[in-house]
Amino acid sequence: MGNLKLLSKILRLKQFKITDFWFKNRDTELHLAVKPYKNGSCCPACGRRGKIIHHSKEFRRWEDLTVMGIKVLLWYAPKEIHCPTHGRVQETIPWATTYSRITYRLEWRLCSLCQIMTQKAAAEILKMPTSTLSNLLHRIITRVRDGHKIRGLVTLGVDEISFLKGHKYATLVYDLDRSRILWVGQGKGRATIDRFFNECLSKGQKARILWASCDMSRAYTEAIKHHCPNTTLVIDRFHVVKALNQALDEVRKDEWRGLDKEGRSAIKGLRWLLSMNARNRSKGNTRFLNSLRNSNRRIHRAWVLKDEFEHIWNYRYRASAEKFLKRWMTAALRSRIPSLRQFVTTLRNHFDNIVAFTDRNLTNAVGEGLNRIVKIIKNRASGYRNLDNFADMIFLTLGDMDIPAHIPSELRTL
Ligand SMILES: [Zn+2]
């Protein structure tokens, strides 16, 4: 067996032919002169064969997978051909996409690694600077997303997330039926969400959205009502509970300020206990909270109200949920606790969209599940400097896109 044949077997370069090889950089780089195996030059746009009109002498270089610590590089001078439809074009290269500097195999490896680890860790394995890897990944994601259109969107979710230690925000748009992320935009608020509706969806698509879920910020609720005329908006249950817990914490902080040292130690550790769901509480916890009835009436009152509020999610009929909520709001107002009264005002503003959960319980599993994964991606890298990198990682793991479709199956083996 000749050297070239052995090399192509070891490197599994079945689809193309090695014509020469040489080592460089103290044997750490293996350079291969290659050419497409079957000598028909095709148009990259339509795949038809074209007449060769120019044999270029300009060699281009592609980086392939590293084998045994040796970097493999491919060299070839692409020909120019004449396509009956597209005119003068550069021929298709079977091992890489048109403008890429790396092979499909490396692209595939890069995407697979980044799905399970940080860009930094993947860069270490692939022996390239992290910035290079980020750029390469960004090119792949951009390429795959360019050809993609949103389809069959019926249930929309909108949420915001902070990246870079809570200073910068991004708005995420979900397809809640498919549990995929459709869009990531810099910033939060009306201008950002408007950009999604204007740039990504047609008028017909907006009309076909029947359900939407978001938090209680005016920006999102009003944008959804404005753009999607046929949508039933359901406020994300998670955000309602979060707002209530915040109100409860205000009460605790308020009390804390007015107490002496002894009183403070009596309500120590209460912060987490108050926000805890009744189902997760131990008997001891409940006993402790009940004991507050005598020592700290205000906190006790607020807590009882909060515990009662949780019952709303058990209602199945809109009318009974409305009745319950109204009764609860009256009781909360009567408590004369400012933060709870404020919470009641919020409830009143979104009343219809909150009790809409009885029509369809959109929240829990899907949206929160996606959110949790996004947070894992964020925490894994302990924050991102810019949105591009963060968005790439989100699309890679949860995006509504099909990377395998963009990489020939025979080159996805490694
Ligand atoms: Zn063509």
Half-sphere exposure of 4 (CA within 13 A, CB side): 10
The whole-number pLDDT of residue 276 equals 80
Contacts of 205 (CB under 8 A, 6+ apart): 150, 153
81 CA → ligand 1 middle, Å: 10
pLDDT at 59 over 80: yes
pLDDT at 61 over 90: yes
What's the gap between Cα 375 and its chain centre?
Answer: 9
383 CA → ligand 1 middle, Å: 44
262 CA → ligand 1 middle, Å: 82
Instruction: Answer whether 339's CB lies under 8 Å from 150's CB.
Output: no
The whole-number pLDDT of residue 305 equals 92
The whole-number pLDDT of residue 62 equals 94
User: At 362, which amino acid appears?
Assistant: L
**Ligand 1 (single-atom ion) residues, CB below 5 Å:** 43, 45-46, 83, 85-86
42 CA → ligand 1 middle, Å: 8
100 CA → ligand 1 middle, Å: 19
40 CA → ligand 1 middle, Å: 14
Please tell me the least confidently modeled range out of 44-53, 99-108, 229-238, 402-411: 402-411
Mean residue pLDDT across the chain:
86
Q: What percent of the chain has pLDDT over 90?
A: 30
pLDDT by residue (tens digit) across 266-279? 777 777 778 887 77
The whole-number pLDDT of residue 363 equals 60
Contacts of 374 (CB under 8 A, 6+ apart): 161, 172, 181, 394, 398
48 CA → ligand 1 middle, Å: 6
pLDDT at 147 over 80: no
The whole-number pLDDT of residue 208 equals 92
> Long-range contact list for 190-195, CB < 8 A, 24+ apart?
190/219, 190/222, 190/223, 193/158, 193/219, 193/220, 193/223, 193/224, 194/223, 194/227
Please tell me the least confidently modeled range out of 1-15, 208-222, 236-250, 339-353: 1-15
The whole-number pLDDT of residue 39 equals 61
The residue with greater pLDDT, 25 or 289, is: 25
State how far the Cα of 238 lies from the Cα of 245, in Å rounded to an integer. 11
The whole-number pLDDT of residue 15 equals 76
137 CA → ligand 1 middle, Å: 27
Q: Which pLDDT band holds residue 364 (cuts at 50, 70, 90)?
A: low
The residue with greater pLDDT, 98 or 154, is: 154
Q: What's the full length of the chain, in residues? A: 414
pLDDT by residue (tens digit) across 379-392? 887 777 788 888 88
pLDDT at 365 over 70: no
pLDDT at 347 over 60: yes
pLDDT by residue (tens digit) across 319-336? 999 999 999 999 999 988
367 CA → ligand 1 middle, Å: 43
Helix (H, G, I), strand (E, B) or coil at 8: helix
- Return the closest-CA partner of residue 30 out of 42, 22, 38: 22
pLDDT at 245 over 70: yes
The residue with greater pLDDT, 409 or 174, is: 174
The whole-number pLDDT of residue 17 equals 86
Q: Which pLDDT band holds residue 414 (cuts at 50, 70, 90)?
A: low
Half-sphere exposure of 279 (CA within 13 A, CB side): 2
11 CA → ligand 1 middle, Å: 31
